[in-house]
Structure 1
């Protein structure tokens, strides 16, 4: 989670610039007026010296204020941005001072951007590890079958069996690569919009019975994105034996409950990991829930597996 900047009153930049310009215009005028007032009693030279000293002090104070409110936060924020790019541990912590409201918003944007980039880097590293592991098995099967096919005395039946093994391994790799492309697309925030369950549920045909509660509640996701989320969740429920799925919408919240066997305690912590599946023999890639979680994260949403129910119960939350 990115660091959150403590909320407190900060002057707007327009106020700082207005005060600075006002001071630049007012100091010479005030100096001339003071000179005409003080010169008769102090003398011209003495009045000039006093007024010049006061103007220098006020200018120094104004310069210090601008340094504290503008220059110091800008330099510190630039240093934090450099630290985020370099991967420094404490670079994601908020600054002590931000000066103006605009600097505060910019600072929070920098922290959020750093957290997003760090999260994407971690996801890519994890995904690369999983992908390497998953692709190694079909590659090993193809390599072994190819070596056996090179044997000159191999029977025809064995050749056909090895060829079928190569085809199965190739199909597995193709499915994994398709899932990889789907996961990459899910990271893009391209489903911005609002829709309701009533608009997308009719497209969920050919699976278990779908019951809807709160069909007209608007959810902060475009119809295409919500349909993709529901297709994966309902399809996942059907693949595990569910016959009925209940969709419940409330403002900023969507619940998907099925009457299937649920998720075992040993698998609850891994179901959103890429490539984790209990249906590998049936051709499952283990990417459906990972795609759902990634798509929702790209649109500031979250999904969790609730503890309730004999079946599986997924709770989707939006800000």
Structure 2
């Protein structure tokens, strides 16, 4: 037993025209007798397989089969191939006057018919041909017949989908949720949250996490700097304001009991402290301007920057060494920072 695997493919094979009509011929009486003996078997087989059977003699004349007994089918290409001793199959268009198969035949099989010609060899010579024709199975019957393969394919697809989902969850979703959690903790003031993630998943996610944490560190440092700066400024502003307030209260509460000398001394203190406040505000403005200036590409030395400082008898500056070291900043901006 040597089974012949299917070779036709409805999706790609060329569909031949309708089978050529049978030609009138005369069958050999010996072969006609064989066909008569086998006609009952053909009828029973046709009821089981729903296929049309024709038995042909060595010249291609039908010796058994409905309606075409005594006629030749040798004009069909697949029949000629079988008469030469080779198996042949073909897809052909259906005969137009035959009814169309039901709608559930969701395939090209609704308009085609499969023809198979199998040579029968006796003593090394072709003694006849079994010529079979049938419409292809509809897609539902075909899938049911291949239900094992379809089930395995569905399991493979489902498993692949789950695997992709797990990989996506581990490499993308989990790091994103971890980064969101870090964001919320950092926003709540948790400094311990500013550290690398335990698992980044992908290179892009690692770069995003690093950039975010770097930004968080810089913002935290900036916040600390602003907090420290505000504390120092508050302290510097508080001293002259307290002095001004005290002097003003003494002037208000003394009435006429304070002589001109004391009143002038307290007034001079108020003016001096107001000048200190004014100078402090100007320096704060200068500092803000120096921080916001774009790099100019100029350079200067420490000594040149110190030479531009305003003369102040209360502060003496002495450079022990390195006065000529170059600074990549303009002299004016360096003087602002030093002041």
User: TM-score normalised to the size of structure 2?
Assistant: 0.47
* Structure (1/2) with the larger strand percentage: 2
* Structure (1/2) with the larger helix percentage: 1
User: TM-score normalised to the size of structure 1?
Assistant: 0.50
